[in-house]
């Protein structure tokens, strides 16, 4: 197998593409690592599915009230629709006076495969996760 077909992770072992389907759940426990954080600015809002939507909306409104003319909403994986919904809800609340600019990307995340038996080797795998970054900015009305 060529080196290009191998996926390298940050850890002790390597895992080949497609090998995660071959691994038995009884042999390994999957532990998902948190993704690498983007630089944190005061006007960045990272959306997840665990936080109450209304609380995320209030946080964005408070950022606008505190003097920021733009904010950035970030969503990763399953939180992508929620991030889009948050930006659209902000635009509705401000009666269409906000400009929305959406950018999508793919973030590589690392998973640890921890063996149940101590004799087996610890492995890692890298998987892509979709991300969305939305710039929400106030527009000037003439």
Q: Find the mean pLDDT for residues 68-77.
A: 94
Sort residue 53 into left (φ over 0), alpha (ψ -120 to 50) or beta.
alpha
Question: How far apart, in Å, are the Cα atoms of 58 and each of 76, 89, 107, 108, 117?
Answer: 20, 11, 27, 30, 48
Q: pLDDT higher for 112 or 118?
A: 112
Q: Find the mean pLDDT for residues 59-74.
A: 94
Q: Find the mean pLDDT for residues 61-68.
A: 94
Query: Which residues face 124 on adjacent strands?
Result: 112
The alpha carbon of residue 52 and the mean position of all alpha carbons in its chain are separated, in whole angstroms, by 17
Structure tokens at 124: 């890692």
pTM, full prediction: 0.73
Question: In the chain, where are the structural domains located?
Answer: 3-33+41-138
Q: What is the pLDDT of residues 3-21, one digit of tens each?
A: 433 344 444 444 445 544 4
pLDDT for position 7: 41
Classified by CATH at the fold level, domain 3-33+41-138 comes out as Translation Initiation Factor IF3 (3.30.110)
Q: What is the pLDDT of residues 77-111, one digit of tens each?
A: 999 999 999 999 999 999 989 999 999 999 898 88
Tell me which residue of 88, 72, 89 sits closest to 132, measured CA to CA: 72
Q: Could you tell me which residues come within 8 angstroms of residue 2 by beta carbon, excluding any fewer than 6 positions away?
A: none
In angstroms, the CA 52 to CA 57 distance is: 9
């Amino acid at each position: 197998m060529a080196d290009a077909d191998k996926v390298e992770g940050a850890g002790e072992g390597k895992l080949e593409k497609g090998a995660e389907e071959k691994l038995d759940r009884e042999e390994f426990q999957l532990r998902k690592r948190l993704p690498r954080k983007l630089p944190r600015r005061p006007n960045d809002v990272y959306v997840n599915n665990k936080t109450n939507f209304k609380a995320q909306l209030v946080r964005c409104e408070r950022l606008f009230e505190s003097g920021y003319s733009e904010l950035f909403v970030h969503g990763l994986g399953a939180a992508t629709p929620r991030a889009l919904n948050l930006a659209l809800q902000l635009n509705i609340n401000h009666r269409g006076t906000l400009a929305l600019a959406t950018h999508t990307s793919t973030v590589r995340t690392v998973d640890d495969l921890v063996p149940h038996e101590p004799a087996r080797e610890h492995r890692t795998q890298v998987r892509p996760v979709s991300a969305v970054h939305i710039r929400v900015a106030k527009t000037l009305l003439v």
